[in-house]
A and B are shown apart, each in its own frame.
Chain A
Amino acid sequence: MSAIIQLNQVSKIYSIGKLQVPALKNIDLTINAGEFVAMAGPSGSGKTTLLNIIGALDDASSGTVEVDGKDLNGLNRRQKSHLRRMNIGYIFQHYNLIPVLTALENTEYVLMLQGQPKAQRRATAMALLADVGLAGKEHHLPAQLSGGQQQRVAIARAIAPKPQLILADEPTANVDSHTAESLLDLMERLNAEQGCTFLFSTHDTAVMKRSHRLIWLKDGVIDYDGVPSGFQLP
């Protein structure tokens, strides 16, 4: 199996005035294509920072990050934008749907960016929304949808372009347990059927248990990396 994410000695230091705050310290990590990986840890352990760096939303202070064989340090803004558009799907904790677009338009947004013909992208988006249980809600604006429904649209948007890698930042944090279960079912199905690599952060132990691999972050370093069953919560 080939590595889709490769991190070598990645560190991230935030400068707040004269204060230097290390968020990640010399992280080495390899994630192979098709894995279903959960990343957990206490608040401030660096989960979101790590996802942002892997997702080319932020730069590492040092070390190398390779996504799908591309060294992010060597890419300019335009190239990173292209990488995100073509290779990465991102599911945000707060859904982050574009408020002026309907559920259908949000779902097909990245397909629009990719220049897919209207009929084709519309059919894809309609099918995906039906798949995530939102048939009949296609023309609703985000403000007209519940939190769970918005997160389903966000998932549909992330998977619409069939990216090799989907990064999700606490995708179940703002939904009830029932919705969280169905969202995980959906993500697992996509992982199994389409071979998408999933890397998601979570605080939820139930979610951790459903992952195939668990990475535990503590104070900016990887404290555990293995199967969830082998991990004892501190």
Chain B
Amino acid sequence: MNVNLAFFLAWRSLGRNPRRSIVSVAAISLGLSLCMLMIAFADGVYQRTINNAVAEQAGHLVLQHPNYTLQPGVDLVVNLSPEDMQAIKQLASVDNVHTLVLANTLVRSSYSARNGRIYGVNPNQGLNSIIAKKVNQGRYLDNSNPQQIVISDKLARHLKTKLKQHLVLVANDAHGNTVEALFSIVGIFPQSMDGVDGHIVHMPLVAAQAMLGLEPQQFTRVGILLRNPSDMSNVQAQLQWLNLPQRGLLTWQQVLPALADYIRTDRFSMLVFNGLFVLLVLATIFNTILMSVLERRHEFSTIMALGTPPSLLRLQVLIEGILLALLGCGLGTLLGLIMIWPLYHFGIDMSALFPDGISTSGVSIDTQVYGYISLSSAVNLITGVFIATCSMTLWPMYKATRIPLTQGNSA
């Protein structure tokens, strides 16, 4: 088969019918770039949410007592020596290791009492949390004094307290005793719209350990933050030596199943939505390619009457489709990247839409949304659109060679 001749005819046909070619390429590139943008927006939100969640509540990988998920208790801790901690940090894929002490508490003022949730964190690592960023009265925790806490404005209102005043926290310690300690309020943050973070009390890790009767190497959770979340299974394999009977090494999806389920469900919805969108674009492309064949009935009939093998004509139509798909996908990728770039670098501030913040599955979502598309998502999408576009030529290919040859001999 004369592939060069089919390519020559296809190229000529596209070049000499610029309007039709431009419409097809524009439909492919616009559809692809919008899909890329939608994926980047959604993946950006997912990634940011996951990052926030793993930074505040856990890590990409979490070391915690195997029974803690089912029966969270302050006595269910993991012991991790400084040497083990150092060994984890030395892995190339590990960005940081966060330690966390969690416990339920009763927060008491001279006026009232409310339930709260202690987050004992290292002040330096807590600085990057959403809570720290949201503090709008006072400041976040520092290393100056262990007896300091940061609470929500809602909790402060209920307790009729304010910045620099003191609160008593009552809790059960790891040995089953009821303990209490006095803390000074150094910062207040606005509670999010649905009150997910209304009960949170951030305090220094050392203060939480001291109050709850824990040793310095005892933590409720040790979160391992990775430079690249896709390395999770590799790092998990490398850290199997940590997976002892009293130390379960879990993924963030196992620690935060509600969030993992939400992202999985939302991703599926996005996939369906994108699929429908791509179908609409493909319908336009199919229509354009089929029309381009049908409007050339006379030309194709003549070409075949001159002795062109039907296979060569089919190849010509296929090559036209492939060239359109290549041009459309190339341009669409470029256009998509141009649209994603400002979203990736500057993000969109959604705080005007959500003045009280947003959260899902018990995790706060940053109102500054950044776009992100992974290489694999982009490659899958572009390949999918390319193959789908090429497949749109199959029926027109067939139709091209079914045109009666006598058509060319009529006006």
Contact = CB atoms under 8 A, between A and B. Distances in A.
A110 B307 contact: yes
A168 to B, nearest CB: 11
A112 B306 contact: no
Contact of A84 (B9, B12, B305): B305
B406 A57 contact: yes
18 contacts: A51-B409, A52-B406, A78-B309, A81-B304, A84-B306, A92-B305, A94-B411, A96-B302, A98-B303, A100-B9, A100-B12, A100-B17, A109-B306, A112-B2, A112-B5, A113-B2, A113-B307, A115-B2
Interface string A208-221: 00000000000000
A110 B306 contact: yes
A81 B16 contact: no
Contacts of B308: 81, 85, 113
A234 to B, nearest CB: 26
A210 B16 CA distance: 40
Interface in A46-83: 48, 51-52, 55, 57-58, 77-78, 81-83
Interface in A101-123: 101, 109-110, 112-113, 115
Contacts of B13: 100
Interface string B1-34: 0100100010011011100000000000000000
| Most chain A CB inside 10 Å of its own CB: which residue of B305, B307, B406 | B307
A96 B298 contact: yes
A157 B308 CA distance: 14
A93 B16 CA distance: 24
B213 interface: no
B405 interface: yes
B229 interface: no
Contacts of A110: 306-307
B306 A99 contact: no
Contacts, number: 76
A98 B296 CA distance: 10
Contacts of B12: 100-101
A169 B27 CA distance: 42
A109 B9 CA distance: 10
Interface of B: 2, 5, 9, 12-13, 15-17, 298-299, 302-310, 312, 404-406, 408-409, 411
A85 B302 contact: no
B86 to A, nearest CB: 71
Contact of B306 (A52, A58, A113, A169): A113
B263 to A, nearest CB: 51
A84 B153 CA distance: 88
B307 A57 contact: no
Give the secondary structure class of B's interface: helix
A100 B17 CA distance: 8
Contacts of A83: 307
Interface of A: 48, 51-52, 55, 57-58, 77-78, 81-86, 88, 90, 92-94, 96, 98-101, 109-110, 112-113, 115, 141, 157, 169
Contacts of A84: 305-307
Contact of B408 (A82, A96, A100, A113): A96
Contacts of B409: 48, 51-52, 57, 92-93, 96, 169
Q: Of A77, A81, A157, which is in contact with the most chain B CB atoms at under 10 Å from its CB?
A: A81
Contacts of A48: 409
A88 B2 CA distance: 20
Nearest to A51: B409
A78 B306 contact: no
B41 to A, nearest CB: 42
A88 B411 CA distance: 21
Nearest to B404: A58
A77 to B, nearest CB: 6
B306 A90 contact: yes
A92 B406 contact: no
Nearest to A93: B409
A99 B16 contact: yes
Nearest to A89: B306
B406 A58 contact: yes
Given A58-B405, A100-B16, A100-B17, A113 B5 contact: yes
B261 to A, nearest CB: 56
Contacts of A93: 409, 411
A169 B304 CA distance: 17
A113 B409 CA distance: 21
Contacts of B305: 55, 57, 84, 90, 92, 96
Given A78-B309, A85-B309, A169-B409, 4 more contacts: A48-B409, A85-B307, A100-B13, A113-B308
Contact of B302 (A55, A58, A98, A113): A98
Contacts of A112: 2, 5
A81 B2 contact: no
Contacts of B2: 112-113, 115
A169 B409 CA distance: 8
A225 to B, nearest CB: 23
Contacts of B309: 78, 81-82, 85, 113
Nearest to A143: B16
A78 B411 CA distance: 26
